[in-house]
Amino acid sequence: MNEKMQAVQYVSKFERILNAATEAFAESGYHQTPVSKVAHLAGVADGTIYLYFKNKEELLVRLLQERLGDFIVCMRRELSNCKTTEASLRTIVKTHFSYMEQNRSLAIVVRLELRKPNQHVRSAISGPLLEYFSLIEEVVQQGIERKEIPRINLRTARQLIFGSLDEATTDWVMARNPQALMTCVEPMLTLFKGALRLRKPKGRKQIVTLQKREEDGNADS
Amino acid sequence: MNEKMQAVQYVSKFERILNAATEAFAESGYHQTPVSKVAHLAGVADGTIYLYFKNKEELLVRLLQERLGDFIVCMRRELSNCKTTEASLRTIVKTHFSYMEQNRSLAIVVRLELRKPNQHVRSAISGPLLEYFSLIEEVVQQGIERKEIPRINLRTARQLIFGSLDEATTDWVMARNPQALMTCVEPMLTLFKGALRLRKPKGRKQIVTLQKREEDGNADS
Amino acid sequence: MNEKMQAVQYVSKFERILNAATEAFAESGYHQTPVSKVAHLAGVADGTIYLYFKNKEELLVRLLQERLGDFIVCMRRELSNCKTTEASLRTIVKTHFSYMEQNRSLAIVVRLELRKPNQHVRSAISGPLLEYFSLIEEVVQQGIERKEIPRINLRTARQLIFGSLDEATTDWVMARNPQALMTCVEPMLTLFKGALRLRKPKGRKQIVTLQKREEDGNADS
Amino acid sequence: MNEKMQAVQYVSKFERILNAATEAFAESGYHQTPVSKVAHLAGVADGTIYLYFKNKEELLVRLLQERLGDFIVCMRRELSNCKTTEASLRTIVKTHFSYMEQNRSLAIVVRLELRKPNQHVRSAISGPLLEYFSLIEEVVQQGIERKEIPRINLRTARQLIFGSLDEATTDWVMARNPQALMTCVEPMLTLFKGALRLRKPKGRKQIVTLQKREEDGNADS
DNA sequence: TATGAATGAGCGTTCATTCAT
DNA sequence: CATGAATGAACGCTCATTCAT
């Protein structure tokens, strides 16, 4: 949405700096990027950055908070329409891939900074990140409550889901000629369903033959 | 393992520098760490580092190459003893967790640097990394050939396996009071088997009922 | 006195800025103080300052000129009522201490800026300062003419008087819990009288015994 | 002494930087002087400064500590040879003027920094300064004990002595064509003796006529 | 080989000053 | 007159790298 507004018309300096920082940090990494480069990309003077951000680190932190917060809002909205666990899982995969695909630079920055040992940055973004983790775990938890998923360790399940999505995104980001991330939605979803041993919800037949299940899998991939 | 050798007796300066760099980079990140700190930790003069490494970046690259290479060798050796696909998967999970747990600093550095946009570093470590990816994909491929796993997208499967292991490691690294990584082996393995729809190998009955499969799952968790 | 006027009612922006600058410069020194801080204290916008002062330095210069001029006027007025040299000396000490005590911030700024090597500032304030020096020297000169003081070097006498007053003020300014400056008037005056070998004026006996003089001294201290 | 060594032969980088800083700070003041200017004057690279001093402020503090310490040592040595209070007073005046005259740049820096409100710097140099104050007060105290000086307030006496010497130095420093500071020794000393009502020591005649005293004064000036 | 003092390019940040409103 | 957002030059400081010993 930020990018669109920018393309269309007026964008506040705050947003322009944030967007510039996203591009710059994605290209060479936070520490490699001089503030002057961000300023240049944003079309403002170096000093102007400091009218909007206390220092370079706050620029990074705000960037992550704003954008991740955006992502979470988006994800939560999409999830609210999902009736079944399968729909929820598909929404997570689709939304994750779609958001990252449309915000490639952000994807690069986020993936990197999430791994940095800097406590300051970590704690600043832990809010949105933990919320995302909760969202995923809630979906699994709900599946368990609905008897669509056997009892499994929530944390491990979340690690699998988030880790896989993140790794797929990393592959896409690193590849020179990546195929669209969105083409990976169904294959990944199929693996998730298998991992979580997801059954059809209550109304359906409980006993399915193995053949039947394999057909599902084939249909998905 | 590196640490033990160091403790026992003589360690070459080359190794001492590499170990010092691992610790230092893990603590504050590559760019945050002055070469002088590495030198101090290694007990050598600043200039000495440049007798063994062309520059700071090569220090990082060699570090990753050496250690990841080590890891791959270790992983390959363990895998060579595995008869079944399940055994191979378990070995991957166990070895990954065990190695990272015993080389925490290395784990921190690797996870981070794998995400850096720096092309130089990326290409330098792509060797060992791609080899690890191949190893994982080979295990899945073999499973498919042995009919233990249905035909699935190898890359997606690899993304799921590596991404999940990496994310679990990240959680462990970031946590203040982490529980041992090794306790996650079986839960994670169960998810993997589900995701890959792993069946018992050929000698056994081909048709299994759903109940049977669920017993497996319960037994694992 | 400035503060009172300000408290009572309307103060011109010019004065408000000057007062704000006095406080600010006293607190952290001229170079340490951003113009924006002065503006904030004065309750005006940064740019407004430049409507009244050419630049930051002129703000300092005008401040010193205005306030020192004030002080000189005040001193001259008080001196005009003094009949004897002793009275004049006492007035100098009293007025100096009293003015500084009631304008502590000004005292801090003046003492500091009088020592700065910056030629521009020096020459700008040399007017009031030299006038003060003349005032002091005139008192001594008059004492000599009246035969109350033996012939002595005027400049040295002025250095002693001004230097002592300034040093006492410095001590008072720097002390955490200073005792009132005014308590130092008589002790300091006694020393001055001794230094200048001040005798009773003409009408009295010309020849005094040493005992007599010592009684004076005791009476003073 | 430092300057002499430098002229003669080898001077450590530490001293060269300190000397360069003294010159530079004297010329334009501490805050006006870029570290790069000090480095240039010292004939070293900017970064080299930071091998010897933690930061710019420490450069100033060490400069003041070292040089003032030097001065105190010098003063104490000279004073140890003085038998009478008059001799001690003369030594103080002579040594103060002589040291400042031979270290003009230092004089400028010291006089200025002594007035800065910066607590950090103040406390760092308070050691040598307070020691100097004590030295002066001890001389006066001794004079009182020897009955050469009537009982007077030590602090006020010290303010008069130090303030006068400092003001004379300021005049000399600020003047474009100053006459030698040393020519002021005897006039100033005469004033001091009068201020302190210094008598000849015990062995001599106690009663002196006024004429006699005035001869003394004339002889001194 | 090994050292570590020295270098100087480069960066984060401040702040006096301007100018469109 | 008044504003305050914007500017960009300038400075303090770091640290990768070199080289004389």
Task: For residue range D105-150, list pLDDT tens digits in order.
Answer: 999 998 888 888 777 877 778 888 899 999 999 999 999 999 999 9
| Alpha-carbon separation of residue D21 from D4, D13, D38, D96 (angstroms) | 17, 12, 5, 22
Regarding pTM above 0.95, the answer is no
Contact C174/D at CB under 8 A: yes
Mean pLDDT throughout A180-208? Answer: 84
Q: Are D6 and D48 in contact (CB under 8 A)?
A: no
Task: Say whether residue A57 is in contact with chain B using an 8 A CB cutoff.
Answer: no
- Across A66-70, B11-15, C125-129, least confident range: C125-129
Query: Any residues with CB less than 8 A from the CB of B92 and at least 6 apart, and which?
Result: B75, B79, B135, B136, B139, B161, B165
Stated in angstroms, how far is B7 CA from E6 C1'? Answer: 35
Would you say the C-beta of A55 is within 7 Å of strand E?
Answer: yes
**Interface chains of chain D (3 or more CB pairs under 8 Å):** C
Residue with more model confidence, A117 or D23: D23
For the CA of C44 and the C1' of E21, the distance in angstroms is 17
Compute CA D62 distance to the chain's CA centroid, rounded to the nearest angstrom: 17
Q: How far is D111 from chain C (nearest CA, A)?
A: 7
**Bigger pLDDT: C206 or A67?**
A67
Which residues 102-131 on chain C approach chain D with CB closer than 8 angstroms? 108, 111-112, 114-118, 122
Interacting residues of B93 by C-beta distance below 8 A, sequence separation 6+: B165, B185, B188, B189, B192
- How many angstroms separate the CA of residue C10 from the nearest CA in chain D? 31
Is strand F in 7 Å reach of the CB of B34? yes
List the helix and strand counts (H, then E) for chain B: 11, 0
Confidence of residue C213 (pLDDT cuts 50, 70, 90): very low
Q: If pLDDT is split at 50, 70 and 90, which confidence band does A207 have?
A: very low
- H helices of A80-118, in order, are 85-102, 104-113
- Measured between alpha carbons, how far is D145 from D87 in angstroms, rounded to an integer? 16
Do C160 and D167 count as a contact with CB atoms less than 8 A apart? yes
For residues A148-155, average pLDDT: 96
Question: Crossing angle, helix D13-28 and helix D56-79, to 10 degrees?
Answer: 100
Average pLDDT, integer, range A112-140? 87
Q: HSE of C148 in the Cβ direction (CA atoms, 13 Å)?
A: 21
Name residue, tokens 């700071």.
Answer: B56
Contact A115, B170 (CB under 8 A): yes
Q: How far apart are CA B180 and CA C8, in angstroms?
A: 72
A112 or B33, greater pLDDT: B33
Q: Is the pLDDT of residue C56 over 90?
A: yes
User: Per residue in D36-51, is it b (16+ CB within 10 Å) or e — as a string?
Assistant: ebbbebbebeeeebee
For A177-191, write each residue's pLDDT tens digit.
889 999 999 999 999
Q: Is the CB of D120 under 7 A from strand F?
A: no
- Is A214 within 8 Å of B150 when comparing Cβ atoms? yes
Given this model, what pLDDT does residue C203 score?
59
| Alpha carbons D102 and D95: distance in angstroms, whole number | 10
Q: Which residues of A42-73 are buried (b: 16+ CB within 10 A; e: fewer)?
A: bebeeeebeebbeebebbbbbbbebbbebbbe
Q: Which residues, other chains included, contact C21 with Cβ-Cβ below 8 Å and sequence gap of 6+?
A: C33, C38, C42, C59, C60, C63
What is the distance in angstroms measured between the alpha-carbon CA of B34 and the sugar C1' of F15?
6
pLDDT tens digits, one per residue of C82-102: 999 999 999 999 999 999 999
Calpha distance B37→B49 (Å, rounded)? 11
Find chain A residues with C-beta within 8 A of B168's C-beta: 156, 159, 163
Give the pLDDT band of residue B89 (cuts 50, 70, 90).
very high
- Confidence at residue A212, expressed as pLDDT on a 0 to 100 scale: 44
Q: Which nucleotide is nearest to B39 (CA to C1')?
A: E4
Mean pLDDT of B105-133: 86
> Protein A118 CA to nucleic acid E15 C1', in Å?
30
Distance CA B140, CA B89 (A): 9
| Rounded distance between C-alpha atoms, residue B39 and residue B49, angstroms | 7
Query: Where are the extended beta strands (E) located within A51-158?
Result: none
Which chain F nucleotides are covered by protein, judged by CB under 7 A? 1-20
Q: How much is the average pLDDT of D147-169?
A: 96
Structure tokens at D21: 């800083």
DSSP codes of every residue in B182-206: GGGHHHHHHHHHHHHTPPPPTTS-S
Distance between CA atoms of A115 and B167, rounded to whole angstroms? 10
Q: How far apart are CA D204 and CA C37, in angstroms?
A: 64
- Which residue of chain B has the CA closest to A184? B156
Interface residues 98-157 of A with strand E (CB < 7 Å): none
Q: How high is the pLDDT of residue C215?
A: 42
The mean-pLDDT minimum among A8-22, B106-120, B131-145, B207-221 falls in: B207-221
Asked if C170 and D122 come within 8 Å (Cβ–Cβ), the reply is no
The answer, for C162 touching chain D at a CB cutoff of 8 Å, is yes
pLDDT of C195: 97
Token pair in block for residue D154: 């030590």
Chain E bases closer than 7 A to any CB of the protein? 1-20
Q: Dihedral sign for Cα C212, C215, C219, C220, please.
A: positive
What proportion of chain D, given as a percentage, has pLDDT over 90?
A: 72
Identify the DSSP state of D34.
Answer: -
Give the residue from C16, C10, C25 showing the smallest Cα distance to C49: C16
C207 pLDDT more than 60: no
- Could you give the count of Cα atoms lying within 13 Å of D119 in the half-sphere of its Cβ? 3
Q: Which two tokens stand for residue B29?
A: 């990140």
Q: Taking a C-beta distance cutoff of 8 angstroms, is the pair D42, D17 a contact?
A: yes
**CB of D34 under 7 A from strand F?**
yes
Closest CA to C26 of C111, C101, C90, C93: C111
Between CA A183 and CA B95 the distance in angstroms is 31
Distance between the alpha carbon (CA) of D59 and the C1' atom of E18, Å = 35
- Going by the DSSP 8-state scheme, the letter that residue B184 receives in this structure is G
pLDDT for position C208:
44
Domain boundaries defined on chain B? 10-53, 57-196
What pLDDT, on a 0 to 100 scale, did the predictor assign at position C9? 65
Per-residue pLDDT, D32: 92
Supply the DSSP string of C182-198, one letter for each residue.
GGGHHHHHHHHHHHHTP
For the record, the structure tokens of C42 come out as 């004065």
D3: its two tokens: 């300057």
Taking the C-alpha atoms of residue B152 and residue B144, their distance in angstroms, rounded to an integer, is 8
Interval C19-45: pLDDT, tens: 999 999 999 999 999 999 999 999 999
Whether residue D194 and residue C190 make contact (CB cut-off 8 A), yes or no, is no
> Is B36 (CB) below 7 Å from strand F?
yes
- Is residue D38 within 8 A of residue D14, CB to CB? The reply is no
Contact D155/C171, CB-based, under 8 Å?
Answer: yes
Q: Which residue of D has its CA nearest to C197?
A: D194
Report, as an integer, the average pLDDT of C189-200. Answer: 95
Which residues of C are less than 8 Å from D150 in CB distance? 214, 217-218, 221
Assess whether pLDDT exceeds 70 at residue A218. no
Q: At a CB cut-off of 8 Å and minimum separation 6, what does C120 contact?
A: C57, C61
Longest CA span, chain D: 67
Does the CB of B13 sit below 7 A from strand E?
A: yes
Residues in D closer than 8 angstroms to C115, CB to CB, are 111-112, 115, 170
Pick the CATH number of C57-196 from 1.10.357.10, 1.10.287.3510, 3.40.50.410, 1.10.10.10: 1.10.357.10
- CA of A59: nucleotide with nearest C1': E12
Mean pLDDT of C147-161: 96
Span between the terminal Cα atoms of chain C, in Å: 31
What's the pLDDT at B3?
A: 46
Residue nearest the C1' of F7 (CA based): A45
CA angle B127, B128, B129 (to 5 degrees): 90
Angle of the A13-28 helix axis to the A56-79 helix axis, nearest 10: 100
pLDDT, chain C, mean: 87
The amino acid at B179: Q
CB contact under 8 A, A160 and B111: no
Angle D87-C150-D151 (CA atoms, 0-180°, nearest 5)? 45
Chain A interface mutation, best of B108, B115, B165, highest count of A Cβ atoms under 10 Å: B115
Which of chain A's residues have a Cβ under 8 Å away from the Cβ of B140? none
What is the number of other CB atoms lying within 10 angstroms of the CB of residue A134? Answer: 14
For the domain covering C10-53, report its CATH number. 1.10.10.60
Q: With cut-offs at 50, 70 and 90, classify the pLDDT of residue B220.
A: very low
> What is the distance between the alpha carbons of residues B38 and B17, in angstroms, rounded to a whole number?
7
Q: Which chains contact A through at least 3 pairs of Cβ atoms less than 8 Å apart? A: B
Token readout for A132 is 């995302």
Cβ(A110)–Cβ(A64) under 8 Å? yes
Determine if strand F comes within 7 Å of the CB of A46.
yes
The dihedral built from the CA positions of residue B42, B46, B49 and B54, taken in this order, carries a sign that is positive
Task: Let me know if the fold of C10-53 is the same as that of C57-196.
Answer: no
Tokens, residue C215: 């009684």
pLDDT of C178 higher than 90: no
Tokens read off for B195:
């995701």
Interface of B with A in 11-30 (CB under 8 A): 26-29
Test the B interface: residue of A89, A147, A164 with most B CBs within 10 Å = A164
| Residue among C87, C198, C89, C86 at smallest CA distance from C152 | C198
D94 touches D182 (CB < 8 A): yes
Task: Let me know: does B194 contact A196? Beta carbons within 8 Å.
Answer: yes
**For residue C120, what pLDDT is reported?**
80
- Who has greater pLDDT, A125 or A185? A185
Task: Give dist(CA D85, CA D26) in Å, integer.
Answer: 34
**pLDDT value for A170:** 93
Query: What pLDDT digit, counting tens, does each position of A130-140 carry?
Result: 999 999 999 99
**DSSP 8-state assignment for residue A30:** T
Determine if strand F comes within 7 Å of the CB of B33: yes
pLDDT confidence of residue C202? 63
Measured CA to CA, the distance from residue C191 to residue C197 in angstroms comes to 10
How open is the CA angle A3-A9-A10, to the nearest 5 degrees? 90
Residue B130 (CA) to nucleotide E3 (C1'), in angstroms, measures 40
B15 alpha-carbon distance from chain centroid: 20
Inspect the structure and tell me whether chains C and D have 3 or more CB pairs less than 8 Å apart.
Answer: yes
Q: Do A217 and B150 touch (CB under 8 A)?
A: yes
- SS3 assignment, position D83: coil
Residue B163 Cα, gap to closest chain A Cα (Å): 4
C210 Cβ contact list (under 8 Å, min separation 6) = D207, D208, D209, D210
CB C20 within 8 A of CB C42: yes
Listed residue (C195, C164, C199) closest to D189, CA to CA: C195
- Nearest nucleotide relative to D12: CA against C1': E5
C45 strand F contact, CB < 7 Å: yes
Query: Which of the pair, A216 or A185, is modelled with greater confidence?
Result: A185
Higher-confidence residue of A116 and D219: namely A116
